[in-house]
Amino acid sequence: MLYSEKVMDHFRNPRNIGKMDDADAVGEVGNARCGDIMKMYLKIEDGIIKDVKFNTFGCASAIATSSIATEMIKGQKIEDALKLTNKAVVEALDGLPPAKIHCSVLAEEAVKAALADYYKKQGLPVDPSIFGCVDCESCGGCGV
Amino acid sequence: MIYLKTVYADNAATTPLCAEAFEAMKQSMLEDYANASSLHTPGQIAAAKVLEARREIAELIGANADEIYFTSGGTESDNWAITSAALRGEKQGKKHIISTAFEHHAVLHTLKDLERRGFDVTYLDVHSDGYVRPDELEKAIRADTCLVTVMYANNEIGTIQPIDEIGRICKEKKVCFHTDAVQAVGHLPINVKAQNIDMLSFSSHKFHGPKGIGALYCRKGIILANFMQGGAQEHGKRPGTVNTPAILGTAAALKKSCADMEKNARYVSDLRDRLIDSILTTIPRSRLNGGRSERLPGNASFCFEGIEGESLLLHLDLKGICGSSGSACTSGSLDPSHVLLALGLPHEIAHGSLRLTLSEYNTAEDVDRIISVLPQIVAMLRDMSPVWERIMKEENSDAVQ
């Protein structure tokens, strides 16, 4: 099998799937040309991520990485959610095939893009050293 | 978990072995163990069986027995044919080759290699319907053209190329014509002499024969280059101990496929048409890839907007349905299928491709299963897709305007 049981589980039964009408912040990363887009919605209260939802266009690992990333940040303080790395996502899924690592990068970026949106809405500075380059190019996967 | 019978709809990838081939191989594996190149009686018995199989195979495609060279399959045959023609051309100062942009990688990568070695390759447009235009081929032929290589039928979208006309043009212009007929042999009537085909590649496992064997038909008078050095097998051109069981299995499978060809084509294309009609009417924003008229009997290739092919494929697999996709994620690269891009489809749409390929082993119930499951999976994936959300938003704002 190409994917671990964990990946298949999150692909079959994605957690926190769907849209959020009253989201405090929304982040979208990837592009359709590369075949992956992740959109993440956050509900934030007192600096804590109270609720997360996501929508993803992409392959099984794109769906699984975004699903597990929402689980990993739900209930977390913003500062802790910003520490989520793609490596942690890969480990939580018991590994990804080498060609799919970029999906985990995208999941990390989706979280950061949503939090950057929150910062902007709050009038807070978005520090690139924390948020990184929040766009498709930084994944380096597709060379667009 | 409810046990579901597998619906195998990936016959363009490979086909199940037929009983005739299995029996022929089983018997041969047990009995014909002697080396067909040996001079003792068991060896000569094996050699006689191989010769008989070679004759049968040759006859079924309108060739002579000594024009059939057994290989490991389609990839080797394509590599061998194209490289040989290029070497011959180079000796005469002809370094131009004509092909298409949607060939199999066995052809395309061989051509890329030749380009690195100074050959000039023209890739004919296959247009949005997936067919080469003979007049465009004719115009592309130059004084230094040494080879035209155009596939008989495309492996992804099933479009059958105008081989008769291409053969006629190549004969007239005295240019060698090779065709990768991996998807066509055993499924479509072929006569290499009548169709002016100089070289033709095929693979046994695409018509219910064994894997790991195929052949190159090479018209008498055309000299093949040696890829490997060794013994005198295959006229000394393709050395290595003769694979007697696989050759007998190939002959048995091809005989069966050709005997039932008309019946199978009618049956399979009826299944295919019902599948295509149902999917295109029940799933909005779906399209059939490639023209409908000249199409392999079993091929149904779709694109569904707003979703990605690998997810679709794996959800189908969870429901016991085997298909394939030209999406980037299934190809191991980040670009979707070169075939779909050659049709001019944008990346976004080509990512959402699904190929279902049927054979005479499929049943009406198989098609019913696909029809009942596929629309739900597409709807479920669209429901979670930001791309689909955008498409719907645009559609609604268009409607308002």
- pLDDT tens track for A50-101: 999 999 999 999 999 999 999 999 999 999 999 999 999 999 999 999 889 9
Higher per-residue pLDDT: B189 or B336: B189
Higher per-residue pLDDT: B183 or A144: B183
Q: Where are the alpha helices (DSSP H) in A14-97?
A: 60-73, 78-81, 86-92
What digits encode the pLDDT tens for the residues A38-49?
A: 999 999 999 999
Chain B hits for A53, Cβ within 8 Å = none
Core vs surface per residue B384-398: b (16+ CB within 10 A) or e: bbbbbbebeeeeeee
What is the pLDDT, as a whole number, of residue A141? 47
The strands making up B353-357's β-sheet, listed across from edge to edge, are B286-288, B299-304, B353-357
Chain B hits for A141, Cβ within 8 Å = 334
At B181, the amino acid letter reads A
pLDDT band at A142 (very low <50, low <70, confident <90, very high): very low
- The DSSP secondary structure of B15-29, one letter per residue, reads -PPPHHHHHHHHHHH
Residues 16-55, chain A, touching B (beta carbon < 8 A):
17-19, 28, 32-39, 55
What chain A residue is nearest to B327 in terms of C-alpha separation?
A35
What chain B residue is nearest to A29 in terms of C-alpha separation?
B386
Segment among A48-62, B59-73, B332-346 with least mean pLDDT: B332-346
What is the pLDDT, as a whole number, of residue A133? 56
Say how far apart CA B181 and CA B185 lie, in whole Å. 6
Q: Answer yes or no: is pLDDT of B82 > 70.
A: yes
What is the pLDDT, as a whole number, of residue A136? 46
Say how far apart CA A49 and CA B212 lie, in whole Å. 56
Say how far apart CA A64 and CA B369 lie, in whole Å. 27
Q: At what angle do helices B41-60 and B244-259 cross, to 10 degrees?
A: 30
For residue A11, give the 3-state DSSP assignment.
helix
Q: Answer yes or no: is pLDDT of A24 > 80.
A: yes
Task: Find which of A2, A57, A70, A106 to mutate to test the B interface (most B CBs within 10 Å of its CB).
Answer: A57
Element (DSSP H or E) covering residue B368: helix B364-383
Would you call A28 and B351 a contact, using CB atoms and an 8 Å cutoff? no
Question: What average pLDDT is seen over chain B?
Answer: 96
What is the pLDDT, as a whole number, of residue B2? 53
Q: What is the mean pLDDT of residues B347-364?
A: 96
Would you call A57 and B387 a contact, using CB atoms and an 8 Å cutoff? yes
Q: Answer yes or no: is pLDDT of B1 > 80.
A: no
Say how far apart CA B121 and CA B174 lie, in whole Å. 18
What is the pLDDT, as a whole number, of residue A131? 82
Q: Where are the alpha helices (DSSP H) in B144-296?
A: 163-172, 244-259, 261-282
Would you call A35 and B385 a contact, using CB atoms and an 8 Å cutoff? no
A36 Cα to chain B: minimum distance (Å): 8
Q: Return the active site residues of B.
A: 329
Residue B229, Cβ density class (10 Å: 0-12 exposed, 13-18 middle, ≥19 buried) = exposed
What is the pLDDT, as a whole number, of residue B332? 61
The answer for residues whose C-beta is within 8 angstroms of residue B401's C-beta and 6 or more apart is none
Size of interface A-B (CB pairs under 8 A): 71
Say how far apart CA B228 and CA B141 lie, in whole Å. 31
Which of B70, B25, B299 is closest to B188 using CA atoms? B299
Residue B254, Cβ density class (10 Å: 0-12 exposed, 13-18 middle, ≥19 buried) = buried
Q: Answer yes or no: is pLDDT of A144 > 50.
A: no
Picking from A11, A35, A142, the nearest residue to B314 by CB comes out as A11
What chain B residue is nearest to A41 in terms of C-alpha separation?
B386
Chain B hits for A60, Cβ within 8 Å = 310-311, 314, 329
What digits encode the pLDDT tens for the residues B237-282?
A: 999 999 999 999 999 999 999 999 999 999 999 999 999 999 999 9
Q: Quote the tokens at residue B338.
A: 């070169």
What is the pLDDT, as a whole number, of residue B327? 72
B314 Cα to chain A: minimum distance (Å): 8
Q: Answer yes or no: is pLDDT of A139 > 50.
A: no
Task: Find which of A17, A28, A34, A59 to mutate to test the B interface (most B CBs within 10 Å of its CB).
Answer: A59
Class level of CATH domain A5-138? alpha beta
Q: Answer yes or no: is pLDDT of B291 > 70.
A: yes
Domains and CATH numbers, chain B: 19-259 (3.40.640.10), 261-400 (3.90.1150.10)
Chain B hits for A33, Cβ within 8 Å = 346-348
Q: Answer yes or no: is pLDDT of B361 > 80.
A: yes
What is the pLDDT, as a whole number, of residue A34? 81
Q: Does B384 touch chain A (CB under 8 A)?
A: yes
Percentage of the residues of chain B whose pLDDT score is greater than 90: 94
Chain A hits for B387, Cβ within 8 Å = 32, 37, 57
